[in-house]
Amino acid sequence: MNRSRYLATLLMASAAATALAAGGSAAQDHNADSADTHYRLFIGDHAEGVVRAIDLEDGADAGTFRIDMTPALTRSTSGRTIFAVQGDAGAVAVIDTGIDVEDHGDHRDLHVTDARLLDTAITGTRPAHVIEGSGTIALFDDGTGSVSLFPESAVLDGAFDPVVLAPGAAHHGLAAPMGDYIVVSVPHESPDEPRVGLRVIDRQGAPVGAVVPCPGVHGQAQSARVFAFGCRDGVVIATPSTGAEPPVLEHVSTADLGEGNVSTLQGGTVLQFFLGNFGPAAVVLIEPGTDAPFRRIDLPTRRVDFALDPTNPRNAYVLTEDGQLHLLDVIAGEITQSLRLTEPYSMDGHWRDPRPRLAVAGDHIAVTDPRAGLVRLVGVDSFAQERTIPVDGTPYTIVAVGGSGATH
């Protein structure tokens, strides 16, 4: 099937299912409960160990959480927790977002409480990637090569007692849970050389099958039940098998795309596809299972950050170093709108220099602007800056949580 038709067909099926679900929910009278929407932003400071929470609707302060150093922020699938990873400090702080969207099938309940820093403190030699899959969170420790496995409930309930596996030597790696198995990166025999590939292990840490080459493996994302991993020469697609069989790993080459490689990925939520970087000034759409799985989209200047829209599955957003925010239509595979949003942020210099980051919160794209001390809010429908939220310090990393539901 033509790849654009493939995604468009999935999009129409998804819209129909959403409409049916919405109709079923609207037919219910939940004791005159009201519908509500609430989104909350969590922003890591670049200069100091602080995570600030801000309610999107009115810009109100929803909490300031002091930790050891500037964090990398990862939200859980449910949005109930955020993991603030501080690799150089050997720590991971966990924040209860205070946002709980509870699914009841015919409707969802929205519970909003105060955000709080949990007592659970996760420590390690050099904790790095946090990846969730199949109801399990995997934390990879670059300093030891170990993988800690636990459910989200363990940190929320204060009963943190992870299963720790040691599948290989210390390296800058990752682990992605897939049912009864975990896909892990495989280090080179020399600690000075990059990762060589991926392999499957079971829940006891025993290897299952051979190593699949994926030179310099870095970056991963999940779309539906499929994982994709970036390599220097392509991507590896991990597809779950039926029954008790392990997932199948397949390397797909990007040689025909020209110079570049995939090292950062995001996965579609409604449609099964991935968006990845490809060199400094391009992105690539990845559609597993199609005759031509890659579509390269060149950008006007070098890329700073990008994000997929979980609510509007046709939309992706890319910020480039000239300060422009671009709307990428993933069905057409092209940029359809551009907006000059910030001053230029050159990609020259250190990769950790303070530059804008993106998060999608309902009807808004939230963009940190470290130099201006702002979060800029762009309307998804208007594709124009609608307002700004002043933020103390140097706003840098950002994640958004929230949703809509009945409030009781």
Q: What is the DSSP string of 326-387?
A: EEEETTTTEEEEEEE-S----S-S-TTS----EEEETTEEEEEETTTTEEEEEETTT-SEEE
Which pLDDT does position 108 carry in this prediction?
Answer: 79
The answer to whether residues 304 and 355 touch, using CB atoms and an 8 Å cutoff, is: yes
Q: How far out from the chain centre does Cα 311 lie?
A: 14
Contact call for residues 194 and 215 (beta carbons, < 8 A)? yes
Looking at residue 7, what is its pLDDT?
A: 56
pLDDT, residue 103, reads: 75
| pLDDT for res 54 | 98
Number of Cβ within 10 Å of residue 105's Cβ equals: 8
In 3D space, the residue among 408, 405, 398, 378 whose CA is nearest the CA of residue 40 turns out to be 398
Question: What is the per-residue pLDDT for 404?
Answer: 87
pLDDT attached to residue 242: 84
Give 65's strand partners. 51
| CA atoms of 242 and 221, how far apart (whole Å) | 21
Token reading at 362? 């309902």
Tokens of 74: 């990862």
Residue with tokens 């099937």: 1
pTM listed for this prediction:
0.91
* Token code pair at residue 225: 């039940």
List of the chain residues with pLDDT < 70? 1-35, 106, 408
Contact (Cβ atoms closer than 8 angstroms) between residue 91 and residue 127? yes
Q: What whole-number distance in Å separates Cα of residue 4 and Cα of residue 291? A: 12
pLDDT at 34: 53
Cα gap 285→274, rounded to integer Å: 6
Cα–Cα distance, 159 to 198 (Å, whole number): 31
DSSP secondary-structure letter at 256?
G
